[in-house]
């Protein structure tokens, strides 16, 4: 109420963090700090979630810059076994007024912290303003701990079309939202046949799309040339993170921080059975009466030019010197 000298102290709610991270949250005066001269406060926290020490406390912006008789001192006393931050803030001269941050606390999230909401309890009964001369109102804070790292749930080549001799796109379905972190440069590719990295520098922002509802990240690779070879593609863990900052768990073992990698083959033009070689085995499949001369066919039945028929045009591709008797290693 107007003119009420009794301040409200608050820690914000709706905060997000992750195991191994830290976050700094102020204790703020949200109405008026006029006349405030000393604050003895307790903040209770869950010791399964946070590891705290005296060095994690600092004066807030409202009082940190004041000098002379207006300067504020900070006397910390953190009991990390009990989960209690006790701090005395004091000045010779009372504050003239204003609102803002009295104290900043850096909360260190334990590496084994579980997922869930945890309270930062600003304890009314143990918090005294001006030695109890002012009545306090407190607003507790909370932090949601997200202990689950994002994983790759599925990968689609060429938007699911069977085009074994081409690589025109790769689409990754992530287990949760990574929109804030993922970008076009997070994919790398290595040609395992020539043992060289594929130059993806031609890819532009527009070649990458992320759908935040389905969590699908798609790279349009049609600008890049992929000669027949085995390729390893990799999503970079450190730059694919969820909103809480958990790095991609590439191998899905529950621990984040490792890249996602898999291999694919861009097939030789006549490799009907997709074994990496073009030889009699492919010709036999193509020439089978159920395939040769038939419509409604796909690559694995011998339709190498994607017109759904197996005929002379496909045989010519298979017999081309760039394909016939060739092998990928």
Question: Could you list the residues that contact Ca ion (CB under 5 A)?
Answer: 146, 148, 242, 246, 249, 251, 253, 255, 258, 271, 273, 275, 277, 282, 303, 305, 307, 309, 314
Q: Are the C-beta atoms of 147 and 113 separated by less than 8 Å?
A: yes
Nearest-approach distance from CB 187 to Ca ion, in angstroms: 18
Q: Which is nearer to Ca ion, 170 or 304 (CB)?
A: 304
**Residue 237 DSSP SS3:** helix
Can you tell me whether residue 56 is helix, strand or coil?
Answer: helix
Q: How far is the CB of 271 from Ca ion (least distance, A)?
A: 4
Q: Return the closest-CA partner of residue 150 out of 234, 251, 232.
A: 251
In the bound state with Ca ion, the residue whose beta carbon lies nearer, of 31 and 176, is: 176
Q: Please report how close the Cβ of residue 115 comes to Ca ion at its closest, in angstroms.
A: 8
Q: Which residue is nearest to Ca ion (CB)?
A: 242
d(CA 45, CA 84): 6
Beta carbons of 245 and 18 less than 8 angstroms apart: yes
Residue found by looking up tokens 């450190």 in the block: 238
User: Which three-class secondary structure state does DSSP give residue 112?
Assistant: coil
Q: Which CB atom, from 108 or from 309, has the smaller least distance to Ca ion?
A: 309
Q: Minimum distance between the CB of residue 326 and Ca ion, rounded to whole angstroms? A: 10
- Residue (134 or 152) nearer to Ca ion, CB: 152
- Contacts of residue 284, defined as CB under 8 A and 6 or more positions apart, other chains included, come to none
Shorter beta-carbon distance to Ca ion: residue 56 or 282 = 282
In the complex, minimum distance from the CB of residue 31 to Ca ion, in angstroms, rounded to a whole number: 36
The rounded distance, in Å, linking the Cα atoms of 14 and 109 is 16
């Amino acid at each position: 109420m107007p003119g009420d000298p009794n301040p409200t102290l608050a820690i914000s709610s709706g905060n997000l963090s992750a195991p191994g991270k830290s976050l700094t949250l102020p204790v703020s005066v949200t109405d008026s700090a006029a006349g405030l001269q000393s604050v003895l406060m307790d903040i209770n926290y869950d010791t399964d979630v946070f590891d705290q020490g005296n060095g994690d406390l600092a004066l807030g912006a409202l009082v940190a810059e004041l000098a002379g008789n207006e300067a504020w001192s900070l006397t910390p006393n953190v009991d990390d076994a009990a989960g209690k931050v006790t701090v005395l803030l004091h000045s010779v001269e009372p504050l003239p007024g204003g609102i803002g941050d009295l104290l900043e606390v850096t909360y260190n999230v334990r590496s084994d912290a579980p997922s869930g909401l945890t309270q930062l309890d600003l304890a009314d009964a143990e918090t005294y303003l001006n030695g109890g001369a002012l009545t306090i109102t407190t607003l507790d804070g909370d932090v949601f701990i997200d202990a689950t790292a994002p994983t790759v749930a599925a990968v689609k080549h060429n938007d699911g079309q069977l085009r074994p001799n081409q690589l025109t796109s790769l689409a990754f379905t992530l287990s949760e939202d990574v929109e804030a972190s993922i970008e076009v440069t997070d994919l790398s590719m290595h040609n395992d046949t020539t043992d060289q990295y594929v130059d993806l520098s031609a890819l532009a922002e527009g070649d990458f799309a992320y759908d935040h509802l389905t969590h699908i990240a798609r790279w349009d690779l049609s600008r890049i040339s992929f000669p027949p070879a085995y390729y390893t593609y990799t999503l970079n863990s450190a730059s694919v993170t969820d909103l809480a900052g958990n790095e991609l768990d590439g191998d899905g073992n529950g621990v984040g921080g490792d890249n996602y990698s898999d291999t694919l083959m861009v097939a030789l033009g006549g490799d009907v059975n997709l074994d990496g070689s073009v030889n009699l085995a492919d010709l036999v499949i193509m020439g089978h009466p159920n395939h040769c001369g038939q419509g409604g066919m796909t690559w694995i039945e011998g339709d190498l030019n994607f017109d759904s028929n197996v005929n002379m045009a496909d045989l010519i591709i298979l017999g081309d010197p760039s394909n016939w008797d060739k092998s990928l290693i």
